[in-house]
Amino acid sequence: MVVTLPRSEDINWTARAVIDGDIHPALASPKSLDPYLSQHWRAHRQQLSGFSYSGATYPRANPNAARVDSWPPNGQPPGSDLNFMREQLLDEWDIEVGVLQPLLGAGAQRNLEYGAAMSHAINDWLLAEWLEPEPRLRASLVIPYEDADLSAAEIDRVGDQPGFVQIMLVIRTSEPLGRRKYWKIYEAAVRHDLPIGIHFGGAGGGPITGTGWPSFYIEDHAGMSTVFQSQVVSLICEGVFEQFPTLKVILVEGGFAWLGPLAWRLDAAWRKLRSEVPHVKRLPSEHISEHFWLTTQPMEEPDRPEYFVQMLEHFPPLADRLMFATDYPHWDFDAPDSALPRVRLPQGTHQKIMAENARALYRL
């Protein structure tokens, strides 16, 4: 029997706003995008159902990586039914605003033109079937990120629609995201005043760690934080923030306790090795403080809750940069009433993490 845990009796959190930075909408069926695709690409989809990188099979913890209670009554996939999402997430938890992150594989298509057509279709589907009917929702703008020209064109097409609040990348791209092949994406993002949101997952075609292919899903899942670290290193060392000083980057679902230790290591290395990267003009930790935001799910859970407070003290920008997220409907969902460790946070920090940091970033 599947039973959903009741909400906590602790009402402290209900008095506060909740903004959810990571919600996954799903397609009700593989045909759901057909109305938004041309005849040619509909036929392509029917023939190939997507053509991406092979060789990365890590069966998830649950079907669709979803909470077992998140299958809508109509039997369609978790996250595919807006009414059920309202009931189980938006209404249940009084979510003021939620940001949709469509993980539908457009960017990992080896046929880049199809990736562009899929991105186009997904964005139109988001506008028509999610953003228009539900004013609490916002969305990430999907792009075929391995081709920066096609991506910039899609950003120019829909980037000024108010429902899109960020541009969606994934953490596992074919090359580190600081490399110049991606710069036109950042140029377009800055042009439309949109942050970049880099989400857990993706497939770039190579091994998923810096030392080849691991064996288990737990390594895919827990190890994702190492790829987030690699992308932070790349974006800083390539000089992306010198080139695009107003660019903002949101790291979605990658953890955040590693950020301070990474900043310390980057700073130490930059002090010794900066002659190699003269385009990096500032201490890496300053770039991190200025340009990066992070969503909280999966929440960091130190063995002693006071270490959570220490972690915030050790890298002070975190308190202004963490943004709550549920990751609905995925199995590792964080509930708004119980996600943060049961420990006294500095005055105001709880509200900042649950809503105010996101409100400021997204100008809600």
- Contact flag: residue 297 with other proteins (CB under 8 A): no
> In this chain, which of 11, 49, 54, 303 binds other proteins, going by CB under 8 A?
303
Q: Give the nearest distance from C-beta 208 to other proteins in angstroms.
A: 5
244/307 with CB nearer other proteins: 307
- Contact flag: residue 217 with other proteins (CB under 8 A): yes
- Cα distances from 262 to residues 14, 85, 256, in angstroms, run 35, 36, 10
Q: Enter the DSSP assignment of 32.
A: G
Quote the tokens at residue 34: 């057909």
158/235 with CB nearer other proteins: 235
> In this chain, which of 127, 206, 320, 351 binds other proteins, going by CB under 8 A?
206
> In this chain, which of 96, 127, 258, 319 binds other proteins, going by CB under 8 A?
258
- Contact flag: residue 348 with other proteins (CB under 8 A): no
122/198 with CB nearer other proteins: 198
The CB density around residue 162, as the number of other CB atoms within 10 Å, is 7
- Contact flag: residue 237 with other proteins (CB under 8 A): yes
Strand partners, 166: 140
> In this chain, which of 43, 61, 68, 343 binds other proteins, going by CB under 8 A?
61
The CB density around residue 19, as the number of other CB atoms within 10 Å, is 25
CB contact set of 66 (below 8 Å; sequence gap of 6+): 77, 78, 79, 329, 330, 331
CB contact set of 294 (below 8 Å; sequence gap of 6+): 250, 251, 252, 254, 256, 259, 318, 321, 322, 323
Is residue 102 a contact partner of residue 166, using CB atoms and an 8 Å limit?
A: no
93/256 with CB nearer other proteins: 256
> In this chain, which of 109, 173, 289, 349 binds other proteins, going by CB under 8 A?
173
> In this chain, which of 78, 178, 195, 197 binds other proteins, going by CB under 8 A?
178
- Contact flag: residue 313 with other proteins (CB under 8 A): yes
120/199 with CB nearer other proteins: 199
Stretch that binds other proteins, among 70-78, 182-190, 298-306, 349-357 (CB under 8 A): 298-306
Helix extents (H) in the chain = 39-48, 82-85, 112-126, 148-158, 183-191, 217-222, 224-237, 240-243, 259-273, 284-291, 306-314, 318-321, 349-351, 357-362
> In this chain, which of 172, 321, 330, 352 binds other proteins, going by CB under 8 A?
172
**Cis ω on the peptide bond leading into residue 329 (within 30° of 0)?**
yes
Instruction: Determine the Cα–Cα distance for residues 218 and 203; give it in Å rounded to an integer.
Output: 17
Compute the Cα dihedral for 112, 117, 120, 125 and give only its sign: negative
Stretch that binds other proteins, among 106-114, 189-197, 229-237, 317-325 (CB under 8 A): 229-237
Stretch that binds other proteins, among 32-40, 121-129, 245-253, 263-271 (CB under 8 A): 263-271
Q: Give the nearest distance from C-beta 24 to other proteins in angstroms.
A: 18
Which own/partner pairs from 214-218 qualify as long-range (CB within 8 Å, at least 24 positions apart)?
Answer: 216/58, 217/58, 217/59, 217/60, 217/61
Quote the tokens at residue 130: 């999610």
Number of residues that bind other proteins (CB under 8 A): 69
Nearest Cα to Cα of residue 122 among 201, 65, 41: 41
Q: Give the nearest distance from C-beta 135 to other proteins in angstroms.
A: 34
Which residue ranges make up the site for other proteins (CB under 8 A)? 61, 171-179, 204, 206-219, 221-223, 225-227, 229-231, 233-234, 237-238, 255, 257-258, 260-262, 264-266, 268-270, 272-277, 298, 300-303, 307, 310-311, 313-315, 331-332
